[in-house]
Amino acid sequence: MSGQPRCVQVLNGALAEIFETRDDVILLGEDLLDPYGGAFKVSEGLSDRWPERVLTTPISEASLFGVAAGMALRGRRPILEIMFGDFIALGFDQIVNGISKFREMFDDQVAVPLVVRTPMGGRRGYGPTHSQSLEKLLMGVPGIVVVATSECHDLRALLVSAVDDDRPVFLIENKLMYGRPNRRPVGGYLDELRVVETETRYPALTFSGSDFEGGAATIVTYGGMLPIVLEAATELILEHEVFCEVVALSQLLPLDLEPVVESVARTGACVTAEEGGLTGGVGAEIAARVQERSWGDLRRPVQRVAAHDGVIPAARELENQALPGVRDVIDAVAAVAGVRI
């Protein structure tokens, strides 16, 4: 496992590969130039090799989303790096009234093939405005694609697919993920868990500790919550002999429901787990749809695990209390599965 490259290296390599294979791609964002190479080093080494294709910008997020849109309208494939996911808030006019709408409101005469890459997530003590998971705000914006990366997904493939996509794609990265190994399943297994991967453009991974012979619950998650959910699932097996399936989505919007519905048909219960705030979250949308589609399979109502609705404090213990952890996932599984833990 330690032989696997770190996620940041995989993303960096994918960017280099994209530059090598396409000449219509430009990377823009703040502080991208070498030797710094971006706040999380994803673009390291790129501006030295391709000085004309890495554009370091002023601090102008409100406009940068529109700049990328304009480039995309004219046949380029811009990749916009937003230094912290929190700052997508500055771009919402462009996202809601431009990027997401141009194609349909101009009657399919245009496409907006841009990629926004940005890290979400906390657990680094950055405090209230640099730790959020705001992808839930994008869920209500039809016309864009929201893709969450995780340390178990093929990060190279996700990034290449996003750049090849003719639609605007928001690629949600994660601050803790960058430094971790890109833990890909080998031979259909990740450690002791069996893993199946959908053959979709933005795949979902389903993990099972019982060879997909059913289980106590399906835990639907994505992004930075995946390692926490896998830890919870492993603890449930080892310490309580409770077997769950874990569905790790990458395509959040349009919501990739099929793997969830299939898993719930086997387990009869569903928990959603995300690092973003509870109210109006990704889990709320998943829960609503699972209850519409899988009502007959469900033994109990869907439970959501999420951050508390409030700021994410900087101090470590306070931050831990605000964000969902292994214990929250285990408790939610116990609740939907009707077991005492």
Q: Does 144 bind other proteins (CB under 8 A)?
A: no
Q: Are strands 193-197 and 205-208 parallel, antiparallel or unpaired?
A: antiparallel
Q: How far is the CB of 320 from other proteins (least distance, A)?
A: 37
Beta strand extents in the chain (DSSP E only): 25-29, 54-56, 77-81, 115-120, 145-148, 169-174, 189-190, 193-197, 205-208, 217-221, 244-248, 251-253, 270-277, 303-307
Residue number, 4 or 57, with CB nearest to other proteins:
57
Quick one: which of 221, 194, 216 has its CA closest to 207? Answer: 194
Distance (Å, whole) CA 157 – CA 27: 18
* Binding-site member from 16, 33, 67, 298 for other proteins (CB under 8 A): 67
Q: Does 47 bind other proteins (CB under 8 A)?
A: no
Residues in contact with other proteins, shown as a per-residue x/- string from 91 to 130 under the rule CB under 8 A: --xx--xx---x-xxxx-xx--------------------
Q: How far is the CB of 76 from other proteins (least distance, A)?
A: 5
Q: Does 33 bind other proteins (CB under 8 A)?
A: no
Binding residue count for other proteins, defined by CB under 8 A: 32
Q: How far is the CB of 144 from other proteins (least distance, A)?
A: 16
Neighbours of 327 (CB within 10 A): 13
Residue number, 69 or 302, with CB nearest to other proteins:
69
Contact 155, 259 (CB under 8 A): no
Distance (Å, whole) CA 303 – CA 52: 49
Structure tokens belonging to residue 67: 């700049």
Q: Does 66 bind other proteins (CB under 8 A)?
A: yes
Quick one: which segment of 2-10, 68-76, 120-128, 251-259 binds other proteins (CB under 8 A)? 68-76
Structure tokens belonging to residue 206: 């389903």
Q: Does 191 bind other proteins (CB under 8 A)?
A: no
* Binding-site member from 46, 64, 242, 334 for other proteins (CB under 8 A): 64
* Binding-site member from 4, 41, 63, 231 for other proteins (CB under 8 A): 63
Neighbours of 217 (CB within 10 A): 31
Q: Does 71 bind other proteins (CB under 8 A)?
A: yes
Q: Does 65 bind other proteins (CB under 8 A)?
A: yes
Q: Does 142 bind other proteins (CB under 8 A)?
A: no
DSSP type of residue 68: H
Cα-Cα end-to-end distance for the chain: 31
Quick one: which segment of 75-83, 129-137, 148-156, 322-330 binds other proteins (CB under 8 A)? 75-83
Q: Does 55 bind other proteins (CB under 8 A)?
A: yes
Where in 211-270 is the site for other proteins (CB under 8 A)? none
Query: What are the angstrom distances between the C-alpha of 114 and each of 100, 138, 233, 317, 328?
Result: 11, 15, 36, 38, 36
Residues in a beta bridge with 117? 81, 171
Quick one: which segment of 54-62, 238-246, 291-299, 333-341 binds other proteins (CB under 8 A)? 54-62
Distance (Å, whole) CA 291 – CA 294: 5
Residues interacting with other proteins, by CB under 8 A?
Answer: 26, 55, 57-58, 60, 62-76, 78, 93-94, 97-98, 102, 104-107, 109-110
